[in-house]
Structures are given as structure tokens and as C-alpha cells.
């Protein structure tokens, strides 16, 4: 029996250590529940399932239908898979500890796992060989993955760890004597303590089992000094994973019909078109009663003559809220009605009897069902002052779109500043602190650390202080490097540009990077002031945006301007009555613009109204007047891209000019390209030596432009070779490239009048393995003793191998590639090299076709125009003239 166990163990070691074979399909997801969304209108379903973190299922598709036969995908959830490890850490081997695993069924729930110590004779027990302490996909060779429920800890038992000491560094504290003993209270000191484990911890580590189930008496020690086990691997070749979560998908769809049965299933993918499916479950959605709104505040301020009523409601399908006043004489009276997204209401001009009356809030859902809050009265209190409203709140058609949205803008431009020191903090200079040595470190409480003269028996985890050191809180030394961060709080109507910054009285600088960061270097210690302005597009400072930040170095190493504590709520609707408008978004006070994308498709002739509510932290709010009506409109042209149209026009005129002159037969000068002008010389040398030429098209394949350029040059070279009666060897890396090269060489030989010299076997496929291809081509050079080698196309790590092999044979070598990283190797090993765009221009140079040469001149002149504009822009912006920069500032949205 022992030999059999050993044999199984060796097989398992081989499987895990030397790679993975064919993977077994993972277990399908298990749906744990399907339930109707509470308090909705019958158009929501919540589907829940178990997902194990070690599962290879990366994508979960939710399918729904009114019948099992007709289901369609309605949702997707994607997951980041755990890393895959093919080799298990040998330190996690536990086969010699004698632990066994038994799986207990748990009804419809996940099976539970139990651990036994020693062989109890249970036929269902499997010996635990390895443990995993982090979630990984693992090697799924011949291991079968199973998922179980369990929590176990691997406790470290090595002597070095048990006897090791820890070091704690407490920054900003100092020892202080108090009546209740010695404490470490906040102060400008740094204390470093060397601690040894408490007697209780030492006893636990020395006597603990290496693998433990949670024990309430020692659970905190198990978590601190142990590692949770994520999976067990047994000698039966099974991997039991235990870390899981319960996930869910909320299916909210207006097409769902209440009182109709729907079927759901989950299709989970673990590869391309490889999936497993869950069981099918069903549910009948119900149009529920809405949840009664909960009143969170009802305050009346007699001095202001106002009342604010606040509430919350968890429901998502509320159509409106209705406030009802209840009086003894007139009964119930509706006094206000607001949208279903509202959570606050302000009343003013109340009479005495209205203040004393009872109130009730009624919510109505979209199905017409109602729910009522408990009756309440207004409570006397003080309502804080409302927050200030931003000026210039406007709503306009979103520019440069296709009638899909409205842009809301408000406020004046503002600039916020912040700073932090980039200096490295020096190491503290410690000195001995005998006051603490030999005492016990009792941990932190209310921002202070307690020090005890002795441990409180063994029931605590207090650590003994072996040594203690103290030092002053270190401060960085001058000069200082200060990183200034800034944020422009603006909108599209503000016409703003860059930010100008000034340190003390030094010359102001403009941050042309506009990335919200600027570094001032070499600053001395002492008091400093940073001032910032936002500039207009023309480069003038907007004085109302002036922001100042004052600080002292090295005492204050970071800081910034405070932001407004308000929040902004935006409401939209198709009525001028603000009570009918619904909240669409909540924004921080730093926002000055919001693009309300009403639809992704052009909408009809609907018009919209908006208003803004500003809420302060104390709960009061202020509303703007509604703006509107606003109608989204389609735009014929994107005005933010006028510069693109202008440049396109310039390039079009240049192209027409050169193409017309080319058609009239005018010749254009292009500079000689050494690699191409010496092609005839290279072919002539091959003719004299009676040896073939080799032409390599690289590794990128036909879709790549560099390969197409190489094919064009091949046609020219092959035609000359036919005239000189030379063999052309073209070893191909890609089968499709081989076919194109064969036809190119065949056509060239035919055009030269020597189709009889063409040998189809000279253009052949080698292999699509990079270095095998390099080795094969190098062998051809040596065996065939090629006189000339051409390398035209895309090359990678094999470039130097090929060129060195060719150089060793004494062949003339001409290379051409647009791979900048490979050009140095070709330049040093080849006689001539076409660099970058010279490869593309070679075909025009060889053919001397006026149209192709004209295309080169067009490109060169276009580049010249761009360079002139760039140079002019640099000069103008250096003198503070921004109009050229603003003209070419393209809006992408």
C-alpha cells in the first residue's frame, strides 16, 4: 500500500511540476437565488450565483426568455482571472504531516470540507499533499478542480519565525507619564521599538497544529501568524478551492412584463467559444407596492419663516412625491407635489395653524400604486443660511454634436492650487531610550500608545520591548523642490488657456504643458508665496482667478486651497414647473459645466428645461430659476475642427498642383538613394561571379506596408536579374507572402522577355517560426554562396543574425526597413541601408514614374508646411501671442 501511495505521489509531482496537459472543463456556475426586485414596478429581477476566485470562467452571460427554447443574452459580467501558476511552491508540501480531507454534502449549498489528522480508515478520505495560500488558476493538467466551502489556516512553525523580533517605528509620538501609567502621545518625535512576541503568542506558535480550522479563542492569532489556505491538493489528483463570493446581476428592463414567467440561465466562458451553462431557473416578476418614504427631517425656522422637509426612499420607480397637510377642519390637503428623484422640499409663508398641523408624504410609483409615510409635525429649530448660487446658469444646445445633448454651464472661472515637497526625508538620528526598555507595548487607543510595566498574565498579546530608541522628527534639508498642482474650474464659455504661476517675486512662468503640475526647484527654507492666474486664449491674465498660497519651509511640506463644501444637483424635465423636473446628476462644487447626453441618437423636436440646486453640508439648499426651453439640434460641421479643414485644403491644393504637372510630363528632382542607385552594381557583381541573389521580405506579412514596399522593389530587382540571367531566391516567412512574391517574380521575368528562366521553386515557404526562419535563411546563404543579399520589409530580433551571416559570406548586402530598433544592426553589417521612409520612396525612385515621384514631392512639401507652422507657433507663443496655438487647438469631442 505504501509503494502505491508513493507512486501516486510521484505522478502528482510530475504533473504539477512539469507543465499542464489538456484542461478539464470547469464546474458550471451555481445559481443560488432568483428573486423579484423589491418595491419596483415588476420590471426588475435579481439573479445571484456563486463564483470561485480560482475559477477559469472569465465571462458570464445572463440569458433570459419567456420559454426555455427561446432565450437571448441580456447581460454580461466580466472578471479578472487569477494568475496561472504551473509550479507549486515546494514549501507548501504537507504530504508528510498526515492530514486527510473529507467532503461533506450540504444540500443545495456548496459542499463543506473537513480535515482529519491521521488515517482514520475512512474510505472517502483523501490525503492532503499540497496546500495553496494564494488564489491562482493552478495547473489543470490531470488535476480535477472542485469547489468546496471551508476556512483553514496554515500556521508557520519554523523556529526562526517563532523566535524572530519585530521593529515598530512610531512617527509623531513622545513618551509622557500620566497617572494611569506611561503612554506615547502625539508629539514631534520618532520612536523605534524592537519587540519580542508575547508569551501567549509564543505558546500558540510552539503548540499549534500546522493546519487549523478557525478557533474563536485564537482566531486573531490564526489570522495574524497564519495564512489562509485557498486550496487543498490531494493524492487523488483533485484540487479543492475554497475562496468564493456570491455575485449577482440586476436585470432591470422596461420590456419585462409583470405576472409573466421568465426563465434565466448563466453561460460562463473559459476560452474562445468554450463555455459551461448553469441550470435554468424561473421567476414571475411582481409589481410591488412602493416602500413608504422615511422622513429624516422636518424643521421650521420661525425667524426665516421657512420649513425644510427631508426624506429618503429606496425605490427606483417612484413617479412623484406628494406632501399632504392634515387639519381638523378641512381634512387632507395637497400642498406640494415633486418628482420622484427629490429628497428635500422647502415651504415658506406658513401660517400658525399650518405650522401646528400634521403632515404626511405620499409616494406614487409608475404603476400608480401609493405608499404613505407616518404622519409628522414640523419641529422648531434653526435652519442654516442657504449656500450661494453660481451666476450665469445657462443651458444651450451641445455644440458640434448630432442633436444628442444639452450643455449646462455656470459660474466664473476659478483656480485651485496645491503644493507638496519632493525632497526625500532624511533618516532619523536615533538615541537610546532606556525609559521604555523591559516594559510592554500594549497597542494603540484613541491616538495614543499604552506602555505597561508588566504583561497582564498570558491572556493578552502585549509584546515586550527589548530595545527602544528616540529621535527628533526628521525634516528635509534645503534646497527644496516643490511640486505645484492646479485645477482650472471653468466651462466652455470662459475662453481660458494656460495657467501662469509665480513663486514669491520671481518672474512668472506659464505652464504650456497644461497638465496641472509644475515644479519649482532650488527653493530655500522660510516663508514663500505661490500665486496663480488663469490666462485667456489670447494670453492675458484673468484677475478674478488670482489665487495665493502661503507656506513656510520646512515646517509646512504640503497644503492647498480649500474647495467649496457644496454639492450641485441638476434637474431636467419638459415643463417650466420645477416641481416636475427630475434630478439627473449630483456634482461637486468644482464643476462648472455638465454635458447632458440625452440620447445616443438624434432626438425628436422635444424641448427641455433645467434648474440647479446647490446643497450645503448643513442641509439647506438654494434653487436657480429654470432655464429653457432648449432643443438639441444637429450641426452641419464641427467648428472645433476648422483648422483641420484649412490644412486639408492646403494639402489638397499642393497635391493637385504636383499631380497636374506630372500629367504634363514635368520631371521633379529627388535626391539619390544610395541603396537603390547601387542595385545595378550589386546585380552586375552577381553576374560576374555567376552566383544567385537572395531577397528576404521580412516577417510582417502582406498586410504590412513595409512588406508591400519590399514586393515593389522585388519586382524591379527581379526584372534586372532576368535581364542578367540570374537566379532570384526568395525564402518566405508567410505563405501568402510567398504567393505574392512568386507572381511578382514571374511577371518581372515575363516583362523582361525571359519567362523560361523563371523557376517557381526559387520562391518558397520556409517556416513561420522566427529563429528557425533565420537559421534556414543563413544556411541558404552559406550553401548557395549568394553574391547579393537584399533585406526589404519588417524585421525584429533576427535582423542581426541574418546580416551577420550574409556578411560572413562576403556578399554585397542592401537592407531597408522602417523598424527603427533594427536599423543600427543593418547599418553596421550591410553595405547600404534604406532608412525609414526611404523604403517607401524606393519604388518611385526605381520606376521614375512621374505620378509616383509627384506623390513624394507632395508628402515632402506637406511636411515642410507643418514644420513651418510648428516653428512659427513656437516663436509666437514664446512672445505671448497665442492666436496660432488657439487656431490649431482641435476639439476632439
Cell 503568542 sits on residue: 201
Cα separation, 686 vs 674, in Å, equals: 18
Computed over every residue of the chain, the mean pLDDT equals 88
- Cβ-contact 573, 598 below 8 angstroms: no
Query: For strand 480-489 and strand 72-78, is the pairing parallel, antiparallel, or unpaired?
Result: unpaired
Would you tell me how many other CB atoms lie within 10 Å of the CB of residue 368?
9
CA atoms within 13 A on the CB side of 875: 6
pLDDT at 179: 60
Q: Where are the alpha helices (DSSP H) in 217-282?
A: 219-225
Mean pLDDT of 373-377: 93
- Is 620's pLDDT higher than 50? yes
Identify the band that residue 603 occupies on the pLDDT scale cut at 50, 70 and 90.
low
Nearest to 430 by CA among 194, 195, 196: 194
Q: What is the C-alpha to C-alpha distance for residues 340 and 465, in angstroms, rounded to an integer?
A: 61
Selected residue with higher pLDDT from 342 and 2: 342
- Tens digit of pLDDT for each residue in 689-737? 989 999 999 999 888 989 998 998 999 899 999 999 999 999 999 999 9
Q: Look at residue 282 and tell me whether its pLDDT is greater than 70.
A: yes
Q: Give the per-residue pLDDT at 881.
A: 80
3-class DSSP state for residue 806?
A: helix
Topology match between the domains 294-380 and 674-848: no
Q: What pLDDT does residue 549 have?
A: 94
**φ and ψ of 629, to 5 deg:** -75, 150
Least Cα distance to 673 among 439, 848, 873 occurs for: 848
pLDDT, average across residues 485-511? 92
Q: Are 44 and 38 in contact (CB under 8 A)?
A: no
pLDDT attached to residue 637: 76
- The whole-number pLDDT of residue 813 equals 94
> What mean pLDDT comes out for the span 251-267?
92
Residue with cell 520646512: 554
Model confidence band, residue 456 (pLDDT cutoffs 50, 70, 90) = low
The ranges assigned to domains in the chain are 1-34+47-155+215-254+263-282, 158-207+427-474, 294-380, 389-423+478-636, 637-666+851-893, 674-848
* pLDDT, position 138: 62
pLDDT at 15: 45
Contact (CB, 8 A) for 532 and 546: yes
Phi, psi angle pair for 261, to nearest 5° = -80, 130
How does pLDDT run across 821-862, given as a tens digit for each residue?
999 999 999 999 999 888 888 877 777 778 888 888 888 899
Please tell me the predicted confidence (pLDDT) of residue 7. Answer: 46
Query: Is 186 a residue whose pLDDT tops 80?
Result: yes
CATH class of 674-848: alpha beta
Mean pLDDT of 332-349: 91
Q: What does the pLDDT read at residue 601?
A: 62
Q: What is the pTM for the complete model shown?
A: 0.71
Average of per-residue pLDDT across 201-227: 91
Specify the pLDDT at position 8: 46
Question: Could you tell me which residues come within 8 angstroms of residue 10 by beta carbon, excluding any fewer than 6 positions away?
Answer: none
Whether the predicted pLDDT of 16 surpasses 50: no
Spell out the CATH class of 389-423+478-636: mainly beta
Cβ atoms of 26 and 57 within 8 Å: the answer is: yes
Which of 45, 39, 43 lies closest to 290, judged by CA?
39
Indicate whether 433 pLDDT > 70.
Answer: yes
Predicted local distance difference test score (pLDDT) of residue 602: 58
Give the separation between CA 700 and CA 742, rounded to whole angstroms. 17
Count other C-beta atoms under 10 Å from residue 180's C-beta.
7
Q: Please give the C-alpha separations between residue 739 and each of 702, 736, 744, in angstroms, as whole numbers.
A: 10, 5, 9
Q: How far is CA 393 from the centre of its chain?
A: 34
pLDDT for 10 beyond 60: no
> Which pLDDT tens digit goes with each residue over 217-229?
899 999 989 999 9
What proportion of the chain, given as a percentage, has pLDDT over 90?
52
Q: pLDDT tens for residues 807-824?
A: 999 999 999 999 999 999
How confident is residue 618, by pLDDT bands cut at 50, 70 and 90? confident
pLDDT on residue 893: 54
Cell 437565488 belongs to residue: 33
What's the rounded mean pLDDT across residues 652-671?
Answer: 86
Confidence at residue 612, expressed as pLDDT on a 0 to 100 scale: 96
- The angle at the Cα of 199, spanning 196 to 201, to the nearest 5 degrees, equals 80
What average pLDDT score do residues 766-795 get? 93
What are 381's three cell numbers? Answer: 429649530
Give me the pLDDT at residue 18, please.
Answer: 40
Residue 4 has pLDDT above 80, yes or no: no
CATH class of the domain comprising 294-380: mainly beta
User: Is the Cα dihedral 630, 632, 636, 640 positive or negative?
Assistant: positive
Evaluate the omega torsion of the peptide bond into residue 178 and state whether it is cis, within 30 degrees of 0.
Answer: no
Identify the band that residue 17 occupies on the pLDDT scale cut at 50, 70 and 90: very low
- Written as one string, the DSSP assignment of 836-877 is TTHHHHHHHHHH--HHHHHHHHHHHHHHHHHHHHHHHHHHHH
Q: Per mean pLDDT, which range of 101-110, 477-486, 792-801 is the poorest?
A: 101-110
pLDDT at 647 over 80: yes
DSSP string, 164-182: --EEEEEEEEEEEEETTEE
Of 181-185, 279-283, 458-462, where does the model show the most confidence? 279-283
Residue with cell 510552539: 206
Q: Are strands 153-155 and 211-212 parallel, antiparallel or unpaired?
A: antiparallel
* H/E segment holding residue 191: strand 181-196
The closest of 578, 557, 843, 610 to 709, measured between CA atoms, is: 843
Residue 582 in 3-state DSSP? Answer: strand
**Higher pLDDT pick, 602 / 149:** 149
* Mean pLDDT value across residues 494-503: 92
Highest mean pLDDT among 432-446, 592-606, 789-803: 789-803
Mean pLDDT across 67-86: 89
Amino acid at each position: 500500500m505504501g509503494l502505491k501511495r508513493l507512486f501516486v505521489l510521484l505522478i502528482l509531482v510530475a504533473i504539477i511540476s512539469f507543465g499542464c496537459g489538456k484542461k478539464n472543463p470547469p464546474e458550471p456556475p451555481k445559481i443560488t437565488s432568483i428573486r423579484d426586485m423589491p418595491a419596483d414596478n415588476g420590471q426588475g429581477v435579481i439573479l445571484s450565483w456563486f463564483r470561485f476566485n480560482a475559477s477559469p470562467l472569465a465571462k458570464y452571460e445572463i440569458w433570459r426568455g419567456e420559454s426555455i427554447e427561446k432565450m437571448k443574452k441580456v447581460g454580461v459580467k466580466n472578471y479578472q482571472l487569477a494568475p496561472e501558476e504551473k509550479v507549486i511552491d515546494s514549501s507548501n508540501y504537507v504530504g508528510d504531516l498526515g492530514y486527510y480531507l473529507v467532503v461533506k454534502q450540504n444540500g443545495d449549498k456548496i459542499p463543506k470540507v473537513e480535515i482529519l489528522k491521521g488515517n482514520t480508515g475512512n474510505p472517502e478520505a483523501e490525503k492532503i499533499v499540497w496546500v495553496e495560500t494564494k488564489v491562482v488558476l493552478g495547473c489543470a493538467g490531470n488535476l480535477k478542480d472542485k469547489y468546496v466551502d471551508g476556512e483553514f489556516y496554515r500556521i508557520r512553525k519554523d523556529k526562526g519565525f517563532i523566535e524572530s523580533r519585530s521593529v515598530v517605528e512610531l512617527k509623531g509620538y513622545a513618551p509622557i507619564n500620566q497617572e494611569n501609567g506611561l503612554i506615547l502621545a502625539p508629539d514631534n518625535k520618532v520612536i523605534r521599538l524592537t519587540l519580542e512576541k508575547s508569551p501567549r503568542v509564543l505558546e500558540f506558535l510552539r503548540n499549534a497544529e500546522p493546519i487549523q480550522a478557525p478557533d474563536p479563542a485564537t482566531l486573531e492569532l490564526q489570522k495574524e501568524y497564519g495564512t489562509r489556505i485557498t486550496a487543498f491538493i490531494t493524492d487523488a489528483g483533485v484540487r479543492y478551492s475554497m475562496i468564493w463570493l456570491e455575485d449577482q446581476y440586476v436585470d432591470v428592463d422596461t420590456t419585462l412584463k409583470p405576472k409573466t414567467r421568465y426563465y434565466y440561465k448563466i453561460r460562463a466562458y473559459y476560452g474562445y467559444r468554450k463555455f459551461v451553462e448553469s441550470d435554468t431557473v424561473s421567476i414571475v416578476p411582481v409589481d410591488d407596492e412602493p416602500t413608504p418614504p422615511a422622513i429624516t427631517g422636518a424643521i421650521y425656522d420661525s425667524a426665516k419663516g421657512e420649513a425644510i422637509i427631508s426624506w429618503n426612499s429606496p425605490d427606483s420607480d417612484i413617479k412623484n412625491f406628494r406632501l399632504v397637510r392634515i387639519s381638523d377642519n378641512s381634512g387632507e390637503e395637497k400642498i406640494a407635489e415633486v418628482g420622484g428623484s427629490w429628497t428635500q422640499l422647502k415651504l415658506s409663508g406658513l401660517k400658525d395653524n399650518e405650522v401646528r398641523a400634521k403632515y404626511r408624504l405620499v409616494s406614487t410609483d409608475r404603476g400608480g400604486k401609493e405608499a404613505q409615510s407616518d404622519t409628522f409635525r414640523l419641529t422648531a429649530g434653526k435652519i442654516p443660511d442657504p449656500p450661494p448660487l453660481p451666476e450665469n446658469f445657462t443651458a444651450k444646445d451641445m455644440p458640434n454634436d448630432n442633436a444628442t445633448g444639452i450643455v449646462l454651464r455656470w459660474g466664473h472661472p476659478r483656480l485651485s492650487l496645491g503644493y507638496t515637497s519632493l525632497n526625500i526625508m532624511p533618516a532619523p538620528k536615533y538615541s537610546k531610550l532606556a525609559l521604555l526598555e523591559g516594559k510592554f507595548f500594549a497597542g494603540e487607543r484613541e491616538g495614543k500608545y499604552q506602555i505597561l510595566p508588566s504583561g497582564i498574565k498570558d491572556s493578552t498579546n502585549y509584546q515586550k520591548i527589548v530595545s527602544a530608541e528616540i529621535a527628533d522628527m526628521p525634516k528635509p534639508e534645503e534646497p527644496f523642490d516643490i511640486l505645484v498642482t492646479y485645477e482650472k474650474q471653468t466651462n466652455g464659455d470662459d475662453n481660458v488657456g494656460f495657467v501662469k504661476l509665480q513663486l514669491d517675486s520671481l518672474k512668472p512662468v506659464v505652464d504650456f504643458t497644461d497638465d496641472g503640475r509644475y515644479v519649482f526647484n532650488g527653493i530655500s527654507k522660510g516663508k514663500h508665496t505661490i500665486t496663480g492666474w488663469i490666462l485667456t486664449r489670447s494670453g492675458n491674465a484673468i484677475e478674478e482667478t488670482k489665487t495665493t498660497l502661503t507656506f513656510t519651509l520646512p515646517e509646512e511640506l504640503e497644503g492647498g486651497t480649500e474647495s467649496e463644501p457644496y454639492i450641485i444637483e441638476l434637474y431636467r424635465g419638459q415643463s417650466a414647473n420645477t416641481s416636475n423636473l427630475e434630478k439627473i446628476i449630483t456634482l461637486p462644487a468644482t464643476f462648472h459645466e455638465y454635458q447632458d447626453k440625452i440620447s445616443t441618437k438624434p432626438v425628436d423636436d422635444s424641448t427641455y428645461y433645467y434648474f440647479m440646486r446647490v446643497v450645503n453640508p448643513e442641509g439647506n439648499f438654494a434653487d436657480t430659476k429654470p432655464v429653457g426651453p432648449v432643443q438639441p439640434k444637429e450641426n452641419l460641421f464641427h467648428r472645433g475642427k476648422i483648422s483641420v479643414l484649412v490644412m486639408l485644403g492646403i494639402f489638397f491644393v499642393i497635391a493637385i498642383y504636383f499631380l497636374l504637372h506630372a500629367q504634363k510630363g514635368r520631371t521633379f528632382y529627388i535626391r539619390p538613394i544610395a541603396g537603390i542607385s547601387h542595385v545595378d552594381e550589386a546585380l552586375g557583381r552577381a553576374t560576374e561571379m555567376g552566383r544567385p541573389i537572395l531577397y528576404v521580405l521580412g516577417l510582417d506579412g502582406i498586410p504590412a506596408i513595409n512588406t508591400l514596399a519590399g514586393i515593389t522593389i522585388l519586382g524591379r530587382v527581379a526584372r534586372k536579374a532576368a535581364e542578367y540571367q540570374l537566379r532570384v531566391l526568395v525564402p518566405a516567412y508567410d505563405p501568402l507572402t510567398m504567393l505574392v512574391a512568386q507572381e511578382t517574380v514571374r511577371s518581372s521575368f515575363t516583362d523582361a522577355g525571359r519567362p523560361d528562366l523563371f523557376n517557381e521553386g526559387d520562391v518558397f515557404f520556409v517556416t513561420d517560426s522566427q529563429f528557425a526562419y533565420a537559421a534556414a535563411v543563413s544556411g541558404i546563404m552559406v550553401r548557395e554562396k549568394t553574391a547579393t543579399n537584399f533585406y526589404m520589409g519588417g524585421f525584429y530580433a533576427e535582423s542581426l543574425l541574418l546580416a551577420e551571416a550574409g556578411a560572413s559570406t562576403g556578399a554585397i548586402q542592401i537592407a531597408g526597413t522602417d523598424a527603427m530598433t533594427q536599423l543600427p544592426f543593418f547599418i553596421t553589417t550591410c553595405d547600404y541601408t534604406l532608412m525609414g521612409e526611404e523604403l517607401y520612396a524606393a519604388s518611385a525612385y526605381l520606376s521614375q514614374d512621374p505620378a509616383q515621384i509627384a506623390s513624394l514631392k507632395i508628402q515632402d512639401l506637406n511636411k515642410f508646411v507643418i514644420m513651418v507652422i510648428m516653428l512659427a507657433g513656437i516663436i509666437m507663443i514664446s512672445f505671448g501671442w497665442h492666436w496660432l496655438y488657439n487656431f490649431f487647438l482641435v476639439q476632439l469631442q
